[in-house]
Structure 1
């Protein structure tokens, strides 16, 4: 058995988290142990994010801190992996000689070999979860073949590659056997699932299969608008185990900006799709993501975006300021001509509009009874989520459980008595 202990820091998105979980499990099979503190480790591995400037800076700061430990001999090795490493390995090697080796996003086998272990093929889908044990991500595909002007993910992670239905079912069953109750389907773009395997969408087929594997909740995240298979919404409407929730980032609504972003759909098509989704499933809650301050965004185009948000009334909404990133077509062909201060002002203005919408929508829950998945318990107060809320990004449901014996991972029926824009407050009626 290998005596080395490892501290792994996983940064960035849920896709990165899955990569880290697989690495941890494979390394454990090779005899490595993992610790919670960098100071206790022999080896540090940092799984980086390189999506936008803030994420890059966080990754760099963590690498620099670990490099200090490597320089003074506190650790025996420092390895860096993930998106930032994939995109900037040459520059990072020149600036950070303390890092023993840089790896990309699909170098699991190479990392294990560097550690002195080897991959265990019959346990490739096993993962040591970094999430709470009652929910997990299921990455249904790797990479991306879209060509959005602002995004370098295809250069970081390669072209789109769907995992087979059979392998995903196997992985899902492993997670279910370990007690996972909420399965969150993710990839850079779940809409495209199956096209590289059979030349057609297989998302609905996959959702129906997974719905039979025993998870109380299955949730769909990161659906690209263009080509979205509407039959999935019918399935969601007909199966209780598929949450009435869809995360569909639309990014903007101005025709000029959508065209420049190379999103593949115009304003009318985007609105028609969102309306058709709601018509097919009136109970669905839609989440989207928007970008403010895209190159050349005029006040009129931003006002158009505000009107769109007011009229579509998304149930959940996140917003980012445009980040001018190398290795994107926007970097090559457009000027980052909107001052950061103005980008931030527009983001704030948009989120104020959304806050009012969210507050009004949440008020409709007052007096109703909802099923809540408990994420944490502190004394007689439980913190959880409804089926309309994804982990980490959406509303929190704060419940007085009294003497109801609720623990993380339990479902309970709660009566909602009060709400804010981003919280529901209620009392537990009974454990389900």
Structure 2
């Protein structure tokens, strides 16, 4: 019997993409393929691409070109494969296959066909697939953390966003399926499960006829895992029931990532998010009252077409007023297949960059102040890395989500992938510093 080829994956883009990567690896391992972390040694490299904004596409293209120059057999998967199928196959003769966002579960069949000498294009026009707890998975995240997809796709049509075009409409998994996967992850020693979808507050709407996030959180409360974190909670979906479930379920962190994008009703209308303009202020106050210890993160787009100085000042005041723990800011990126691409009054990049700097400069002291408030507290920290040179540990408290927020630099001894109490004695704008609390103290 001939040896099966070895396969490496180059992963780009978001955590939704990472789950697809992990399922592809899981399926390949199950089918007897060798997985190599070193791209140079592998026979095939699967490049799981991102196509969300121009910068992400450039990174994807750079990776593809570098690999093509090294004579690798390249399989292109992910959002960019869905988006630019013909161009990619034409411009990269080294690509032996192209797989769309709704077809990654066919990866073993695709590789087998390539081995037979075929150049494969496997792209469903409308992605409908979603993996579940029965789909093999080979985890690639740091010890202790796993992402858990509760739904795929999105039913909203925001003017700037290409995701529904690439990932299809929302399709949720059942509560039973999600809980079963959470239990599998807990049994592997996972300490933190991060629930993801485009809009987690809309979870279940497509299969149950109404959102079922409350029921899902309460069901996950019975799973033996210390931390459950939610990503992308639309403020309108944070109903009193959902807030009560967050409050009353001990392992659900009161961490809310609200992708607000803007504060001014005119810009929200132009973004095709008109429902949001009426609710921002009131809803944030309501969350803070109901969940006094809530950690609020949000993202904003500056320089959306037609954004005037007045609109931008409205956003500055909004950020000043609400004092979010964490704020991400993006400059508008015009995407060819989105309505925003053809809007009048596109802003010059210099104006967008200036607004980006202004908003970040406004947020910095707020973020710093929030971190200062942690000094003197003993907080639980999930230890994720150890610096071999210094022996220093790096982890995160419940206030910080992986890769987007700060970290906690820790002195003392603790095992990787465990949660330990840490006394916080220092803080800067984005990170905290502390010491492991031992029981003798």
- Shorter-chain TM-score bucket reads over 0.9
Selected match of 2:99 from 99, 103, 116:
103
Measure how far apart 1:336 and its partner are: 6.2
Aligned to 1:90: 86
Task: Please give the alpha-carbon distance, in whole angstroms, between the structure 1 residues aligned to 2:105 and 2:17.
Answer: 16
Aligned to 2:261: 251
Task: Please give the alpha-carbon distance, in whole angstroms, between the structure 2 residues aligned to 1:267 and 1:202.
Answer: 24
Superimposed CA distance per residue, residues 262-286 of structure 1 (whole angstroms, 9 cap, x where no aligned partner): 1132434111111111111101010
User: Which piece of structure 1 moves more, 334-343 or 148-157?
Assistant: 334-343
Aligned to 2:213: 203
Is 1:421 the equivalent of 2:429? yes
Cα distance change of structure 1 residues 155 and 122 upon mapping to structure 2, 3 Å threshold? closer
Measure how far apart 1:104 and its partner are: 0.7
Selected match of 1:340 from 342, 345, 349:
349
Task: Please give the alpha-carbon distance, in whole angstroms, between the structure 2 residues aligned to 1:387 and 1:122.
Answer: 27
Which structure 1 segments of 5+ residues have no match? Answer: none
Superimposed CA distance per residue, residues 87-144 of structure 1 (whole angstroms, 9 cap, x where no aligned partner): 1112222222221121111212332201129xxx997333111101310000100111
TM-score, normalised relative to structure 1: 0.94
Aligned to 2:402: 391
Task: Please give the alpha-carbon distance, in whole angstroms, between the structure 1 residues aligned to 2:61 and 2:76.
Answer: 10
8 Å CA contact 2:6, 2:34 repeated in 1: yes
For residues 55-94 of structure 1, what are the structure 2 equivalents within 5 Å?
Answer: 55-70=56-71, 75=72, 77-94=73-90
TM-score, normalised relative to structure 2: 0.92
Cα distance change of structure 1 residues 408 and 169 upon mapping to structure 2, 3 Å threshold? same
Measure how far apart 1:426 and its partner are: 1.3
Measure how far apart 1:178 and its partner are: 1.0
Aligned to 1:20: 21
Cα distance change of structure 1 residues 62 and 230 upon mapping to structure 2, 3 Å threshold? farther
Task: Please give the alpha-carbon distance, in whole angstroms, between the structure 2 residues aligned to 1:58 and 1:207.
Answer: 36
Task: Please give the alpha-carbon distance, in whole angstroms, between the structure 2 residues aligned to 1:65 and 1:89.
Answer: 19
Is 1:355 the equivalent of 2:389? no
Task: Please give the alpha-carbon distance, in whole angstroms, between the structure 2 residues aligned to 1:197 and 1:37.
Answer: 41
- Structure 2 SS opposite 1:40: coil
Which structure 2 segments of 5+ residues have no match? Answer: 114-130
8 Å CA contact 2:194, 2:229 repeated in 1: yes
Cα distance change of structure 1 residues 123 and 363 upon mapping to structure 2, 3 Å threshold? closer
- Structure 2 SS opposite 1:243: coil
Aligned to 2:186: 176
User: Which piece of structure 1 moves more, 192-201 or 85-94?
Assistant: 85-94
Superimposed CA distance per residue, residues 310-340 of structure 1 (whole angstroms, 9 cap, x where no aligned partner): 00100111111100001111124x0462111
Aligned to 1:162: 172
Is 1:30 the equivalent of 2:31? yes
Aligned to 1:273: 283
Superimposed CA distance per residue, residues 210-247 of structure 1 (whole angstroms, 9 cap, x where no aligned partner): 12110100001112233333322212212221112110
Task: Please give the alpha-carbon distance, in whole angstroms, between the structure 2 residues aligned to 1:179 and 1:158.
Answer: 33
Cα distance change of structure 1 residues 227 and 290 upon mapping to structure 2, 3 Å threshold? same
Task: Please give the alpha-carbon distance, in whole angstroms, between the structure 1 residues aligned to 2:201 and 2:139.
Answer: 25
Measure how far apart 1:181 and its partner are: 0.7
Superimposed CA distance per residue, residues 136-158 of structure 1 (whole angstroms, 9 cap, x where no aligned partner): 00010011110100001001000
8 Å CA contact 1:45, 1:79 repeated in 2: yes
For residues 222-233 of structure 1, what are the structure 2 equivalents within 5 Å?
Answer: 222-233=232-243
Task: Please give the alpha-carbon distance, in whole angstroms, between the structure 1 residues aligned to 2:254 and 2:381.
Answer: 14
Measure how far apart 1:86 and its partner are: 0.3
Task: Please give the alpha-carbon distance, in whole angstroms, between the structure 2 residues aligned to 1:30 and 1:19.
Answer: 17
Task: Please give the alpha-carbon distance, in whole angstroms, between the structure 1 residues aligned to 2:436 and 2:184.
Answer: 31
Task: Please give the alpha-carbon distance, in whole angstroms, between the structure 1 residues aligned to 2:259 and 2:196.
Answer: 13
- Structure 2 SS opposite 1:430: coil
8 Å CA contact 2:28, 2:107 repeated in 1: no
Aligned residues: 420
8 Å CA contact 1:412, 1:430 repeated in 2: no
Aligned to 1:50: 51
**In angstroms, what is the RMSD of aligned CA positions?**
1.8
Task: Please give the alpha-carbon distance, in whole angstroms, between the structure 2 residues aligned to 1:425 and 1:364.
Answer: 13
Measure how far apart 1:205 and its partner are: 0.7
